[in-house]
Amino acid sequence: MAAFLLPPGITSDKIFDSEGGDLVELIEVSSDNSYLRRTAVTDRLCQDYIEKDFDVHSTTSHATTNPTSEHLKLFFSIRQGKYDGAMVPIPISSNMFKRIAPYARIPRIYLESLARKTAIQIQSTPQLPPDFLKWSPEMIGEAYLSFIIQPTPAQNRACIGCSFTYHFKSRHMYAFMHGLNSPSIEEFVRELQDIGIAETYFLIPSLIIHRNLEHCLSSLNIWHDAIYDFEKILGVRTDHRHSADPKMIDFTRISQQLNDATTNMAFFAWQFKSNERLLEFLDSIARKYENLAVKNGYSAKEAESTKNILLETHEYIRVWNAGLADRVDYLSKRAQALVQTVYSSIAQRDSANSLSLATTSTKLAETSQGVAIATSRDSAVMRIIAAITIFFLPATFTATFFSTSFFDFHVGRSQPVYSWWLWLYFLVTLILTAITMVGTWALWKNKENEIARQFPKTKG
């Protein structure tokens, strides 16, 4: 068997992950509700049932059987682990996948499409069981209609990479679906049986788009209400006069939420554009179905009826998709207007804060001016006091010096007026003066060093 195509740089160990076992299920449904089974794909099931081509038909009957009901052989897996933007890995071993691939009629490009982080729709050529390897591409192209689709990858949606191969003679739809883990997946699986009973399994891709649009509608309703609330808070709605004080608004939180809103709007726009391309592709598949169905013995009326069902369903979804796309464009413009409003409000708030700061600075300057005037008055008074003190300082020193006991003016004229111990006065005075000056210098020097340590000089 030829190897599957993989993107450059992507190895099989990144595509497959079987550490938790092979977590793939086989879901079999009949459109007449006569058969329904859901079972895990194991080595025993693969050997006894799948590799015997489901025990449904032999090599000869495969090309001749024309049952009246459709049958679905769906292999289904769910991506395990934390979502990182990629659909892979598939929770199955590489060997097991290669064993079931020919019987699930999976095209060789399927794995490459899963590894691409984008929406994909492409018609392809399926792999076939070993008994049909001699079939020419022309024979395969007339007996089978095979295609691959993958919606825009996103968590919490019915994001499923799908391989569909329909065999006209046996009316068997072979499918392999690998999806992201979300609550929508299990609901989607439960709806598959109803589609087959109602019309055709070719409606499965429409169901995937329909479920995603339902999720988008729910999300858009939430974002619509959020944008309305932001408009009320910012006071831009004419039907809601009350607005919060700009000083009390948390602009950071609102900016973050508006950025989240615009990001989601951009994703929705991307998804709706992808849906439009997918619907156009499905229209081409419906027309191809009609052509091949007639070639394989279907009545023209039956083939046209099925084609019309598909086209009408696609058109309904297309109109819905276009309406949601218009709504996204409308909400995006409102969100962008709110962003501008937030920036304007922030600028006004900063301007008001600057004005308030300027007013405070003016008042502080006025207060400083008053303090300066008072200080100037005090300085003038101190200068007067200092001048008076200096004027009387010589007289004060003279009176103090001669009033000491070293002088006696009551002695006779022949006796000395001053005491022999006068030298002691000068000695003590000089010593105390020296101690005072040295102590003061030491204190100043210590304070300078302390300041220098607190404010070290930077080397320029």
Per-residue pLDDT of the chain (460 residues; tens, 9 = 90+): 445 555 555 566 677 877 766 688 898 888 776 667 888 999 999 999 999 988 754 333 343 344 568 888 999 888 776 766 677 788 888 889 999 999 999 998 888 888 777 888 999 999 999 888 888 989 999 999 999 998 876 655 667 889 999 999 999 999 999 887 766 666 776 776 555 555 788 999 998 898 889 889 999 999 999 999 888 888 777 776 666 666 677 778 888 888 899 999 999 999 999 999 999 999 999 999 999 999 999 999 999 999 999 999 999 999 999 999 999 999 999 998 888 888 877 777 778 778 888 888 888 888 888 888 888 888 888 888 888 888 888 888 788 877 877 777 777 777 777 777 778 888 888 898 899 999 999 998 888 888 888 876 655 4
CA 55 to chain centre: 48
Return the structure tokens found at 110. 């399927």
Q: Give the domain ranges of the chain.
A: 1-198, 200-369, 398-445
> Cβ(228)–Cβ(257) under 8 Å?
no
- Cα separation, 108 vs 6, in Å, equals 9
- Cα separation, 448 vs 455, in Å, equals 10
Phi, psi of 5 (to 5 degrees): -80, 135
- Residue 458 has what pLDDT? 54
Return the structure tokens found at 392. 């009387």
- Residue 234 has what pLDDT? 80
- Closest to 90 (Cα-Cα) out of 20, 141, 175, 173: 20
Strands 172-179 and 71-78: parallel
The sign of the torsion formed by the CA atoms of 261, 262, 263, 265 equals: positive
Which residue has tokens 């497959």? 16
Report pTM.
0.72
- Residue 357 has what pLDDT? 84
Return the structure tokens found at 61. 């009957």
Helix axes 204-234, 300-402, angle to 10 degrees: 30
The angle subtended at Cα 82 by Cα 76 and Cα 84, nearest 5°, is 95
- Residue 253 has what pLDDT? 85
- Residue 66 has what pLDDT? 41
Measuring CA to CA, how many Å separate 173 from each of 35, 73, 196? Answer: 14, 6, 10
